[in-house]
Structure 1
């Protein structure tokens, strides 16, 4: 029983010592190339609902005219 307790205590000391060691040094990441333009493109102006409906009607009319 004394050997088991001694082994557990030694294991605790070893794990504590291992946990306190500093992490290995990593190599620095390569520098990223600078982006030419990081701004988002401007959003188009919103159209009125009536304009959407009339455009939809025009597309239907064009499709039926093309089918004839």
Structure 2
């Protein structure tokens, strides 16, 4: 939050507010990081609906 240097060199910046209670941080950062992982996977051409090395016991048919 408030890092203007990063916004000058990066094409996209996602700002996440800093909560007063640091115990909330993992929950607050989960959604932006999941979206980042999704966008990276799509950009790399990965099939996000059928990830590799997924155990058969996890899949539902």
Fold match by TM threshold 0.5: no
Give the structure with the larger helix fraction.
1
Q: Which has the higher contact order (CA 8 A, sep 6+)?
A: 2
TM-score (norm 1): 0.29
The TM-score, its normalising length taken from structure 2, stands at 0.31
* Higher gyration radius (CA): 1
